[in-house]
C-alpha cells in the first residue's frame, strides 16, 4: 500500500514545484521578449535588458536594495546575537518579557509596523530617505536574528563561559572563542533570514522612504502601474543573483569538506557570499555614480525634488535635464492624488508636484501652492489652447499642463458593433449582448462619471438623488453584466483582445490601439471627463528657480516629445501633439491620442469634499454588490 502512494506523492511534489517555479520561468522567458506585451511572445531580444542597464533608476534601485540588505543584515546580526546572548544571562522574568516583546514585531501585521515607523520619523522630523529605510530594515530584522539564535543558546551548557574563564580566557575570548562558534549555525540562519527579509520588503520600505530612494520592490511596484517589460528583466537579474548566492552557500561546505586543510578552507568559503555582496555593492555604487561632466552649468550641485505619478516620464528627460543644468533630480512617485495630498498637507517638501485638475483646485483653495513667476516661464505660448485656462486654474497662475486627455470606451472592432456604441453610449455596459465580456475601471470618480453621463447628468453633480441614480445604474451593471473590475491590467488585456470593451483613459487606449489594430476608442456624445495633469510648485518648495527651469524644459519640444512618445499620453505642447499624431507620427490615425475639445457635454472634474465622500462610500457598496453577484 505504501508503494501505491509513492507515485501520488511524487505527483503532488511535481505540482508544488510547478506552482512555485513556472511563474518564475514564465517571467524569465518574457524578459527576452522582443515586443512590449507581457503575455504574447513575439521574438527573442535583449532590448529590455539594454533598457534596464541604461535606466539610472533601475540600477540605483538595485544598488539601494543590496546595499541596505548587506548593511541591515550585518548590523542586525551583530545586535541580535549580542542581545540574545545577554538575554540568556538575564533573570527569567526579564527573559520571558523580552522574548514576548521580540515576538511582537513578528506577529504584527507589516502595515502596522510600517505606519508606526513612518509616524515616528515624522514626529521627530527625520527626513525620510536612505537612512530611514536602513534604520527600519535593521529594526525589523533584529527580531528574526534573535529568534534564530535563542534556541542555539538554550542548547548550550550554561556554565560553558564560566568554565572558559576559569581556564584563563577573558570574557571577550569566552564569547568569541567558545560561545559564538557553538551558536554559529543559528547566527548564519538568522543572517540569511534577515538578508532575505530586507531584499524582499516592500510595505515598510514604501512608508519610510523619501527623496526618491527606492529599493527594487518599490521600483517594480511603480513600474507595474503601466506596461513595462523591463520589470521582467530586472526581476530575472535578481533571481540570478540570489541563485548564485544560494549555490555558493550550499556548495561551499561540500567543497570545504573535501579539502585537507579544512579550517582554512571553511574560513575562506564562509566569507565568499559576503565578499560577493560587497563586490556587488561597490560595483553598483560605481555604476550609479558614473558620469557627470566638469563643465560649469547653471544649477550645478542643486537638487530638484519632484513628486509625480509612477511611469509618467520619458526615458531620457531626467538625464538630459541633469546634463544640461548640472542639477540632480530626485523623483518620488505616488499612486493617487489623495496619497500625494496627504504628504503635501503634512508638510513634506517638494519642488514640483504633478496632480490632477480637481486636486490642483483643492491645493489652491487650501493655500498649499504658490503662484508661478511667469517672467521665468517661456513655455505657455507653446501649449495647446484647449488645455489652457481650465476651470481649476483659469489664468494658469498656479499650473502648467503636463499631460491631458479623456476617458472613453476601448473596444474590439471584431466583437463590438460601432452602431451599438453610437446608439447606446455608456449604456452599452448594460447591453446583455456583451455580458461577461466587459471591464469596469476600479476608480470611483471615473465609474460614477460613466454612470452619471449615461443618465444625462453632470459628472460634477452635488444632487444626492442623481448620485443615487448613478449608484443604481452601476449596481445593475455589476449584477447583470458580470464585469471584471480592474485597474491598469486593462491595458495589456485589451491589447490582447481578451474582452469586448472597457472603460479606459485615452493615453492607455493609445497604447492599446498601437499594439492591436483591431482596437478602437469611442467617446459617447453624452460627454466624458476631460482631464488634465499639471505641474505646480508647492508653497514650501526649496528650489523655486530650478522648478521653473524644469517646467520650461518639460514643456519645450524635446522634453515634451520624450515624455509623450514614451508614456503615450497626450502632450500639452501643441507642436509635439501635431507631430506625433500627424503623417508618419508614432500615433498617426489613433483618435485616442487627440483629446476631444469641441463637445459641450465634456467636463473637467471639480473638487467637492462632501460629494467625494458620498461617491467613495457608494463605490465601495458597488464593489460589494459585484462580489456578491460572483
Question: Residue 543: what are its φ and ψ, rounded to 5°?
Answer: -135, 75
Task: Note whether 219 and 157 are same-domain residues.
Answer: yes
96-110, 333-347, 527-541: the lowest-pLDDT one: 96-110
Task: Note whether 152 and 284 are same-domain residues.
Answer: yes
Measured CA to CA, the distance from residue 224 to residue 194 in angstroms comes to 26
Task: Note whether 189 and 278 are same-domain residues.
Answer: yes
Task: Note whether 141 and 279 are same-domain residues.
Answer: yes
Task: Note whether 515 and 559 are same-domain residues.
Answer: no
Give how far Cα 583 sits from Cα of 293, 441, 571, 577, 593, Å: 38, 32, 17, 12, 14
Measured CA to CA, the distance from residue 509 to residue 512 in angstroms comes to 5
Q: Which is higher by pLDDT, 208 or 9?
A: 208
Does 198 map to a domain? yes
Task: Note whether 138 and 202 are same-domain residues.
Answer: yes
What pLDDT does residue 275 have?
41
Does 293 map to a domain? no
For 388, half-sphere exposure in the C-beta direction (CA atoms, 13 angstrom radius) is 13
Task: Note whether 76 and 37 are same-domain residues.
Answer: no
Task: Note whether 328 and 429 are same-domain residues.
Answer: no
Q: Please say if the pLDDT value at position 279 is more than 50.
A: no
Neighbours of 241 (CB within 10 A): 17
159-163, 183-187, 283-287, 554-558: the lowest-pLDDT one: 283-287
Asked whether 439 and 490 are in contact (CB, 8 A), the reply is yes
What pLDDT does residue 254 have?
75
What pLDDT does residue 224 have?
66
204-218, 243-257, 332-346: the lowest-pLDDT one: 243-257
Q: Give the range of the structural domain holding residue 513, as residue numbers without chain letter.
A: 405-531+593-629
Which CATH number does the domain housing residue 247 bear? 1.10.3720.10
Task: Note whether 312 and 454 are same-domain residues.
Answer: no
Does 586 map to a domain? no
Q: Please say if the pLDDT value at position 595 is more than 90.
A: yes
Mean pLDDT of the chain: 87
Task: Note whether 150 and 276 are same-domain residues.
Answer: yes
Based on the structure, what is the number of domains in the chain? 4
Measured CA to CA, the distance from residue 546 to residue 552 in angstroms comes to 10
pLDDT in tens, 39-77: 677 788 888 888 888 777 788 888 999 999 999 999 999
User: CB neighbours of 275 closer than 8 A, spacing ≥ 6?
Assistant: none
Paired strand residues for 529: 603
Q: Which is higher by pLDDT, 129 or 1?
A: 129
Amino acid at each position: 500500500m505504501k508503494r501505491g502512494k509513492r507515485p501520488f506523492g511524487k505527483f503532488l511534489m511535481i505540482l508544488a514545484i510547478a506552482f512555485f517555479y513556472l511563474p518564475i520561468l514564465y517571467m524569465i522567458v518574457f524578459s527576452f521578449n522582443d515586443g512590449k506585451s507581457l503575455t504574447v511572445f513575439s521574438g527573442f531580444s535583449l532590448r529590455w535588458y539594454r533598457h534596464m542597464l541604461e535606466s539610472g533608476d533601475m540600477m540605483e534601485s538595485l544598488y539601494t536594495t543590496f546595499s541596505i540588505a548587506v548593511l541591515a543584515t550585518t548590523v542586525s546580526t551583530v545586535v541580535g546575537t549580542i542581545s540574545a546572548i545577554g538575554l540568556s544571562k538575564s533573570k527569567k522574568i526579564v527573559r520571558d518579557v523580552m522574548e514576548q516583546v521580540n515576538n511582537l514585531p513578528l506577529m504584527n501585521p507589516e502595515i502596522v509596523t510600517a505606519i508606526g515607523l513612518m509616524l515616528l520619523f515624522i514626529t521627530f522630523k527625520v527626513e525620510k530617505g536612505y537612512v530611514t529605510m536602513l534604520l527600519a530594515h535593521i529594526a525589523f530584522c533584529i527580531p528574526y536574528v534573535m529568534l534564530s539564535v535563542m534556541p542555539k543558546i538554550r542548547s548550550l551548557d550554561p556554565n560553558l563561559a564560566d568554565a572558559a574563564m576559569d581556564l584563563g580566557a577573558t570574557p571577550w575570548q569566552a564569547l568569541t572563542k567558545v560561545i559564538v562558534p557553538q551558536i554559529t549555525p543559528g547566527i548564519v540562519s538568522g543572517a540569511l533570514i534577515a538578508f532575505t527579509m530586507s531584499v524582499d520588503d516592500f510595505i515598510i520600505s514604501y512608508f519610510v522612504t523619501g527623496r526618491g530612494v527606492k529599493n527594487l520592490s518599490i521600483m517594480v511596484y511603480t513600474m507595474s502601474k503601466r506596461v513595462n517589460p523591463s520589470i521582467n528583466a530586472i526581476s530575472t537579474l535578481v533571481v540570478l543573483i540570489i541563485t548564485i548566492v544560494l549555490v555558493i552557500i550550499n556548495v561551499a561546505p561540500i567543497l570545504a569538506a573535501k579539502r585537507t586543510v579544512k579550517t582554512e578552507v571553511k574560513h575562506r568559503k564562509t566569507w565568499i557570499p559576503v565578499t560577493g555582496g560587497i563586490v556587488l555593492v561597490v560595483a553598483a555604487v560605481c555604476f550609479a555614480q558614473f558620469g557627470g561632466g566638469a563643465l560649469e552649468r547653471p544649477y550645478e550641485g542643486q537638487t530638484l525634488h519632484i513628486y509625480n505619478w509612477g511611469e509618467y516620464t520619458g526615458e531620457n528627460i531626467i538625464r538630459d535635464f541633469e546634463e544640461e543644468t548640472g542639477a540632480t533630480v530626485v523623483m518620488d512617485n505616488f499612486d493617487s492624488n489623495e496619497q500625494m495630498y496627504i504628504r503635501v498637507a503634512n508638510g513634506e517638501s517638494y519642488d514640483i508636484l504633478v496632480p490632477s485638475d480637481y486636486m490642483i483646485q483643492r491645493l489652491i483653495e487650501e493655500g498649499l501652492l504658490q503662484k508661478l513667476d511667469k517672467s521665468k516661464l517661456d513655455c505657455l505660448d507653446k501649449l495647446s489652447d484647449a488645455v489652457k485656462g481650465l476651470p481649476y486654474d483659469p489664468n494658469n497662475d498656479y499650473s502648467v499642463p503636463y499631460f491631458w486627455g479623456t476617458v472613453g470606451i476601448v473596444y474590439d472592432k471584431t466583437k463590438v458593433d460601432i452602431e451599438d456604441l453610437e446608439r447606446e453610449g455608456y449604456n452599452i455596459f448594460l447591453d446583455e449582448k456583451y455580458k461577461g465580456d466587459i471591464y469596469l475601471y476600479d476608480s470611483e470618480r471615473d465609474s460614477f462619471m460613466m454612470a452619471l453621463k449615461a443618465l444625462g447628468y453632470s459628472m460634477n453633480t452635488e444632487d444626492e438623488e442623481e448620485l443615487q441614480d448613478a449608484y443604481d445604474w452601476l449596481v445593475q451593471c455589476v449584477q447583470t453584466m458580470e464585469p471584471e473590475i480592474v485597474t491598469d491590467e486593462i491595458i495589456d488585456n485589451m491589447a490582447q483582445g481578451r474582452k469586448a470593451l472597457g472603460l479606459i483613459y485615452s493615453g492607455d487606449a493609445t497604447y492599446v490601439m498601437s499594439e492591436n489594430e483591431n482596437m478602437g476608442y469611442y467617446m459617447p456624445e453624452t460627454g466624458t471627463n476631460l482631464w488634465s495633469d499639471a505641474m505646480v510648485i508647492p508653497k514650501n518648495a526649496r528650489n523655486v528657480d530650478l522648478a521653473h527651469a524644469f517646467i520650461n524644459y518639460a514643456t519645450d519640444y524635446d522634453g515634451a516629445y520624450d515624455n509623450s512618445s514614451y508614456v503615450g499620453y497626450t502632450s500639452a505642447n501643441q507642436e509635439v501633439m501635431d507631430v506625433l499624431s500627424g503623417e508618419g507620427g508614432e500615433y498617426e490615425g489613433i483618435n485616442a491620442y487627440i483629446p476631444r475639445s469641441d463637445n459641450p457635454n465634456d467636463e473637467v472634474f471639480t473638487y467637492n469634499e462632501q460629494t467625494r465622500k458620498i461617491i467613495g462610500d457608494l463605490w465601495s457598496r458597488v464593489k460589494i454588490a459585484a462580489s456578491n453577484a460572483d
